[in-house]
Structure 1
Amino acid sequence: MKEKIMNDEVEPRQLAPVHFDAEEQSAEPAQAEEQPAADIPHVPPSAADLQAVFDVPVKVQAVLGRSRMDIGHLMRLKTGDVVELDRRVGEPVDIFVNNRLIARGEVVLIDSALGVTLTEIVRQDR
């Protein structure tokens, strides 16, 4: 009986995107539409406003450099081999979040653990 319900009666739904600006404007009284947008101050989101996204996992990468090689050469690599990268010592490393460049930084060693100190936040136009 459960199989019949799942296969015959339940249809997959596709959710429409939600635009918060449109909802906020429709929820306000008609008087707010008469006010110019310049009169309404913009308040940046606080930490409490962002609480819902704090547990969302993201992929963070610190890219020291890149190298191209044939698969055969890659398969022959062993411990102690040196792979030449396209960057020099002291150049900043790129920090990617979900494959998007967000910052650059310097490699640091703290208590025998490697890390990156952010030195520049990269702004990209959408």
Structure 2
Amino acid sequence: MGTELAFDDLPDPPGMDLPLRSAFAPELDEDGAPSLEAVYDVPVRVQAVLGRARMPISELVSMHPGHVFELDRRVGEPIDILVNDRIIARGEIVMIDGLLGVTLTEIVKSDA
């Protein structure tokens, strides 16, 4: 009925002799630890939190320009530095060329 072709007779595509590497297997750095280079350009949200306040909705909706409300921090106390809503450090507010900045004073250890 014609020529039969077995899959074993087909040549391997180029690169088939290379070892398989899982898409989930990270590249290793010179110490054998997983390299983080692939995530260096992933954007994260960084926030410097001066303080927090709790108030009833009635006070919130009655706010107007010039309204002052109290935060839970004193002047000079360290502020929280959050990355993606997780506290990673504390710092002090500084001024840099007319802009606000933060000097890190403490790195917060993760509980996880």
**Residue of structure 1 equivalent to 2:46:** 60
Amino acid at match of 1:108: V
> How far, CA to CA, are the matches of 2:111 and 2:32 in structure 1?
19
1:72 partner SS: helix
Where does the alignment leave 5 or more consecutive residues of structure 2 unmatched? Answer: 1-23
In structure 2, give the amino acid aligned to 1:69.
M
State the shift of 1:54 in Å.
2.2
Structure 2 equivalent of residue 86 of structure 1: 72
How big is each residue's C-alpha offset from its partner over 1:40-65, in whole Å with a ceiling of 9 and x where there is no partner? xx8386xxx43321221111111111
Q: TM-score, normalised by structure 1?
A: 0.60
SS in structure 2 opposite 1:73? helix
Provide the alpha-carbon RMSD of the alignment: 2.6
Find the aligned partners of 2:98 and 2:63 in 1 and give their Cα distance: 26
1:43 is aligned, of 31, 45, 49, to 31
User: Gaps (5+ residues) in structure 1?
Assistant: 1-17, 25-41
Question: Once the two structures are superposed, what CA deviation does each residue of 1:67-113 show, in whole Å capped at 9, x if it has no partner?
Answer: 00111211221222111011100000001101111000001111111
| Aligned length, in residue pairs | 88
- Separation in structure 2 between the aligned mates of residue 58 and residue 82 of structure 1, nearest angstrom: 31
Which has the larger helix fraction?
1
Deviations along 1:9-45, whole A, 9 cap, x unmatched? xxxxxxxxx475xxx8xxxxxxxxxxxxxxxxx8386
| Residue in 2 that maps onto 1:75 | 61
Structure 1 residues 1-126: aligned runs within 5 Å: 18=24, 43=31, 49-126=35-112
